[in-house]
Amino acid sequence: MILTVESVSLAFGGVRALQEVSFDVKEHEIRAIIGPNGAGKSSMLNVLNGVYHPQEGRIKFRDKVFEDMDPHEAAVMGIARTFQNIALFKGMSVLDNIMTGRNLRMRCSVLQQALWLGPAKREELEHRRAAEQIIDFLEIQHIRKTPVGRLPYGLQKRVELGRALAAEPALLLLDEPMAGMNLEEKQDMCRFVLDVNAQFGTTIVLIEHDMGVVMDISDRVVVLDYGRKIADGTPDEVRRDQKVIDAYLGVTH
Amino acid sequence: MAEANGTLDTFPKLLMHHARVRGDRPAIREKDLGIWQTWTWREFADEVRALACALAAQGLRRGGHVALVSDNRPRLYAAMCAVQCMGGVPVPLYQDAVAEEMVFPIQNAEIELAFAEDQEQVDKLLEILPRCPTLRRIYYDDARGLRHYKQPQLLAYDDLIAAGRGADPKSVDEEIARGTGADVAGMFFTSGTTAAPKGVVHTHSSLLAPARVAAEMENLGDSDVILAYLPPAWIGQNIFSCAQAFVTGYCICCPESPETVMTDMREIGPTYYFAPPRVLEALLTQVSIRMDDASALKRWMYRKFMGVANRVGGALIDGKPVGPLDRILYWIGDALVYGPLRNVLGMSRVRVGYTAGEAIGPDLFRFYRSIGINLKQLYGSTETAVFVCIQPNGQVRSDTVGPAVPGVELKFSAERELLIRSEGLFREYYKNPDATRTAKDAEGWFHTGDAGFFDADGHVKIIDRVKDVGKLADGTLFAPKYLENKLKFFPYVKEAVCFGHGREKVCAFINIDADALGNWAEKRNMPYSGYTDLASRDEVYDLVRGCVEQVNADLAGEPEIANSQIHRFLILHKELEADDGELTRTRKVRRGFIAEKYQPLLDALYSNASTVHVSAQVRYEDGRTGTYAADLKIRDAKTFAPTAAELRRAA
């Protein structure tokens, strides 16, 4: 197990966003968290990422228990993420945005970098190489030097995935990677998610609204509804689960 | 050159020759991880030798066919030459073809081994594997996504060549020495506009001889550079990026990806360039769009100096006399506009540029020549190994394709069909003796199927395909392509399909250019949801009608075809696509297929209806199909009395 979530509860004042949610994530798997609007998916991701601190419960990442972890520490530990509403530097080029993902791995001081001394140069070359590999992987060579703000939405999403990958994370959190995309873009994104998982062995936790997509690419699925876990299992098991059907289609009372 | 004509009669021999003579000069470049990587001729030859060893161990026999499905990559060219080393025949296939289209070539040529670039191509080959029992090995270059593939046919290029690296290359050298110019060097499948594709068989000498003549004519040498960006399955790509490079020793550069061609052009600065008219047109459209968005000063400069270039640029490049004032103006324009423009287009260093494949608009052609790019037309086909006619420097015109290249004999039949005899002629259509006999007569004349004539200066002028030239019901000559080209010369019209053979009037389907019109709509604050929406707008119809009427006005001045003016037209709801079989892979319209597919639309054009209901199957890029339904508008266009003819008759 790379990650274990043990009866986590999170409340904002009187609003109980998560109630005693437990699940685990195995090494190298693609784990999806799904649920209707307001089910607590994003809150869950923000807990995993150290943005929110749950009032109850425990989270273990590689046998280390989270203790008031902030997002920076999460990143240092090897957890990277993307955002639902894209958080890139719009005025910077694709390449520079991906390079920012290498930030945590840069060791040279500002002075060294300014003087472009031996180690700084070597380091930059090494990071540029890593960034180029990601550009190659995501097939975005043609927009390498294009400012992100000028790109269509689907490509921005891909760049954001690239930046997260640049950190060489052990665990990658994707917040609705397919949201707002057309069918073709969705398929491209699915392919990239699967490729990342296969090629780099990255464990992926993704939140998604679109059931179809999730069922196709994930190994196991957690279903949340009103902050509670209502199902957990393989896509087939979850699809057949009556509670899941009710949550998605609604029940007549 | 004596040696070149004597013993260096095959591709592999030429390769080994270059490895000896210019071993440290660049042979092939590819941009990898953002940096241009170079293979020298020696490295290229080493790679080819090792690969040839490995292929021999894989059971490649002399005369065995090997398919290659890849974009332009150094490894593709290495694989092609390695196959030739062992006496095998490379059969490049279009990399953007759907799996179904690959079945025929693979069955027809009894392909046993195939090189595939990546997962996409491997998937296609695996899909058709059950129907292609001869195919026993697929080598892939890019392993990405293929990790979990367990098919026994698959083998990575890296593993393949690793096996060859340890082996003794002596046997390869012996095999290379055994090869002669008369051996088969490659097979190229025609696009199959009308019937099933045919495999055009070329020998080493039929590919190399024309390549040599043209290279001498243009003075190509080992310091030249070319960007290989067109499909390798097209013979022209093979001639420009393989045959001529092997003859002269110049450097081939492979773009990073199809989307980066423009950037790669700028970085590489090729000296030798080929582009079909549609590519040149797309580039000009981009320039125009960017100029529209430029500052007022720049727009003024562009307008002003393009006017100068239009007037004197062509004369300057042809070496014709130009007044001193115009020379000074052109010189200033060169510093301020043409030079930077050539740089943006990546054509600063282009010495020789060719265009061919279809008629080029006079304005488009003039644009490139007037800014100082030596763009010329040539004529040729797959069966003739490209070079049949080339416009020599100083004799360049937009409406002819130039005189015959040295060593090529030309004549026209009674039906105005162009016949060719040359060293570059193909040997045969593979396993299709009937077609071979029809195309190549007993005296060795190849029947091109193109209709045309010699003009006063002995230049060849092509008007249309012989079989497409038809007659209207009243007997007027009807050359559909001629009309379609006239329409396509307007920036807003992307494709046009004209009908009229055996009918009393001409009608047309139009495809609008979504880029150009998108920009136009944006300027008018006209919101639209996509191509289909834009195509159905009244404003767009009015614009297109203007274009059609202008063509009609032009035609009115040409007595022989004045009656083939376009009476009615409609704008199609979808773009014509090669994937839907409406265009060939080289993007020529398949008129017959389109007429059949859109029969109700055609009927409506020839009725009095002002709209027509369409419901069509559309095939998405992922292979799924869907249905689309809408009402298309049909518009009448004004036609003009044949003025010139009447005047002449009156006089």
pLDDT digits (tens, 9 = 90+) for B575-626: 898 888 888 877 788 888 999 989 999 999 999 888 888 887 766 656 677 7
| Model confidence pTM above 0.95 | no
Which positions in chain B touch A144 (Cβ < 8 Å)? 34
Contact B34 A191 (CB under 8 A): no
Instruction: Specify whether B565 is located in the same domain as B480.
Output: yes
Instruction: Specify whether B166 is located in the same domain as B298.
Output: no
CB B324 within 8 A of CB B341: no
Contact A187 B144 (CB under 8 A): no
CB B471 within 8 A of CB B477: yes
Q: Please tell me which of the candidates B31, B256, B622 has its beta carbon nearest to residue A187.
A: B622
E runs forming strands in B413-559? 417-422, 428-429, 446-454, 460-465, 470-471, 477-478, 493-499, 506-512
Using one digit for the tens of pLDDT, what is the confidence trace for A205-243?
A: 999 877 788 888 999 999 999 899 999 999 999 988 888
Neighbour count for residue B353 (Cβ, 10 Å) = 19
CA torsion angle B263 B268 B273 B274 (round to 10): -40
CB B415 within 8 A of CB B449: no
Q: CA-nearest residue of chain B to A142?
A: B260
Residue A133 has pLDDT above 90, yes or no: yes
CB A2 within 8 A of CB A25: yes
Mean pLDDT, rounded, for A150-176: 93
Locate B369 and state its tokens: 């020549």
Q: Please tell me which of the candidates A129, A142, A198 has its beta carbon nearest to residue B260.
A: A142
CB B380 within 8 A of CB B356: yes
Contact B263 A133 (CB under 8 A): no
The answer to whether position B224 is within a domain reads: no
Backbone φ, ψ for residue B548 (5° rounding) = -60, -40
Identify the three-state secondary structure at position B50: helix
Using one digit for the tens of pLDDT, what is the confidence trace for B129-163?
A: 999 999 999 999 999 888 889 999 999 999 999 99
**Which residues span the domain enclosing B449?**
277-465
Locate A242 and state its tokens: 């009556």
Q: Please tell me which of the candidates A184, A187, A195 has its beta carbon nearest to residue B144.
A: A195
Which positions in chain A touch B148 (Cβ < 8 Å)? 198
Locate B229 and state its tokens: 């960006």
Using one digit for the tens of pLDDT, what is the confidence trace for A28-44?
A: 999 999 988 888 899 99
Per-residue model confidence (pLDDT) at position B125: 96
DSSP B626: E
Residue A89 has pLDDT above 90, yes or no: yes
Q: How far apart are CA B407 and CA A205, in angstroms?
A: 67
Per-residue model confidence (pLDDT) at position B552: 92
Neighbour count for residue A231 (Cβ, 10 Å) = 21
Look at residues A235, A170, A184, A228 and name the one whose alpha carbon lies nearest to residue A208.
Answer: A235
Provide the pLDDT confidence category of residue A168 given band limits of 50, 70 and 90. very high
- What are residue B418's DSSP bridge partners? B412
Contact B34 A128 (CB under 8 A): yes
- Decide which of B406, B436, B465 is a domain's last residue: B465
Using one digit for the tens of pLDDT, what is the confidence trace for B64-98?
A: 999 999 999 999 999 999 999 999 999 999 999 99
Q: Mean pLDDT across chain B, nearest whole number? A: 90
Instruction: Specify whether B448 is located in the same domain as B480.
Output: no
Per-residue model confidence (pLDDT) at position A211: 79
Query: What's the CATH number where B505 sits?
Result: 3.30.300.30
Look at residues B367, B564, B416 and name the one whose alpha carbon lies nearest to residue B484.
Answer: B564
Residue B645 has pLDDT above 50, yes or no: no
The answer to whether position B269 is within a domain reads: no
Q: CA-nearest residue of chain B to A134?
A: B33
- In this structure, are strands A3-12 and A56-61 parallel, antiparallel, or unpaired? antiparallel
Locate B192 and state its tokens: 């199959």
Provide the pLDDT confidence category of residue B650 given band limits of 50, 70 and 90. very low
Instruction: Specify whether B453 is located in the same domain as B561.
Output: no
Per-residue model confidence (pLDDT) at position B292: 82
Per-residue model confidence (pLDDT) at position B556: 84
Per-residue model confidence (pLDDT) at position A253: 58
Contact B257 A139 (CB under 8 A): yes
- Amino acid identity of B531? Y
Most confident of A83-92, A211-220, B38-47, B453-462: B38-47
Backbone φ, ψ for residue B517 (5° rounding) = -75, -30
Query: What's the CATH number where B141 sits?
Result: 3.40.50.12780
Instruction: Specify whether B120 is located in the same domain as B176.
Output: yes
Domain count, chain B: 3
Nearest chain B CA: its distance from A171 CA (Å): 20
Given CB atoms, is B620 within the 8 Å cutoff of chain A? yes
Instruction: Specify whether B489 is located in the same domain as B430.
Output: no
- Amino acid identity of A227? G
The answer to whether position B167 is within a domain reads: yes
Instruction: Specify whether B496 is located in the same domain as B401.
Output: no
- Amino acid identity of B335? A
